[in-house]
Amino acid sequence: MRLGAVIITMGNRPEDLRALIDSVAKQDGDPIDVVVVGNGAPVGDVPDGVRTIELPENLGIPGGRNVGIEAFGPSGGDVDVLLFLDDDGLLPGTDTAELVREAFAADPVLGIVSFRIADPDTGLTQRRHVPRLRASDPLRSSRVTTFLGGANAVRTKVLAEVGALPGDFFYAHEETDLAWRALDAGWMIDYRADMVLFHPTMPPSRHAVYHRMVARNRVWLARRNLPAPVVPVYLGVWILLTLARRPTVPALKAWFGGFREGWSTPCGPRRPMKWRTVWRLTRLGRPPVI
């Protein structure tokens, strides 16, 4: 099973990027072809054999990853599975690639694998990095309904069948959009606690655009993927959850500004999931209203 890896970078973490690439090179089994995409920034020095693409502008996380996908042929078809790794991450074990190969070879309906993200100093996994509602035990692997954007592996047949990441999202919820489309097409998603990516613990709100894009993309996600009766329930629940978290006034203003933007701007093609997919999500423990 042929593996490739896509890494996007803003060129501001050269030492972390080099360490990540080295950890990919140390994986057991056949070598992994690596593509590094400079997202509106120069990539910098990388080891020999690593392909680089430097974009003239920042296309956002999904846009940059989509460019990396196409570097492996249409929908990444030159390889069987693509790893997507954050440029400040690190694969601490050398067996991760072999675990990936074994997982996809053993399960023909497995479309996406989400790795466990752990802090390199403490080894702890944040609750938000476990892509399920019952997240108290991050060491338990399970079927899930979404995945972590910078620590995952995707079968390229999924991308060929349902399309790539939604580039217009720029940042936030692009993984869930792809996950829902994959599940609607019959693929499954696994969270694997034994496939670990080290990543320093950071709050997602460190990004200046966090509150606006989280809200805007939440609306786009619902408009694109959910059956019409489910859309107001899903978004209503998220309004209540946002208020319950008691954000600051500036954050709340940005959030509601993004929420309005999500309704007033094009969301891309609408392909509502089947009702049987709604039931499948519910059986997996996360109905699409939460």
In angstroms, the CA 112 to CA 226 distance is 20
Q: 148 CB contacts (<8 Å, ≥6 apart)?
A: 114, 115, 117, 129, 131, 175
Name 109's Cβ contacts closer than 8 Å, sequence gap at least 6. 186, 187, 188
Q: Which CATH entry fits the domain spanning 3-202: 3.20.20.370, 3.90.550.60, 3.30.1490.100, 3.90.79.10?
A: 3.90.550.60
Q: What is the pLDDT along the chain (290 residues), one digit of tens a residue?
A: 999 999 999 999 999 999 999 999 999 999 999 999 999 999 999 999 999 999 999 999 999 999 999 999 999 999 999 999 999 999 999 999 999 999 999 999 999 999 999 999 999 999 999 999 989 999 999 999 999 999 999 999 999 999 999 999 999 999 999 999 999 999 999 999 999 999 998 776 555 588 999 999 999 999 999 999 999 999 999 999 999 999 999 999 999 999 999 999 999 999 999 999 999 999 999 999 98
Per-residue model confidence (pLDDT) at position 263:
98
Q: Give span(s): CATH 3.90.550.60, the chain.
A: 3-202
Per-residue pLDDT at 201: 85
Residue listed under structure tokens 């476990």: 130
pLDDT at 32: 98
Task: Say what the pLDDT of residue 252 is.
Answer: 93
Write the CB contacts of 29 (distance below 8 Å, at least 6 apart in sequence): 97, 98, 101
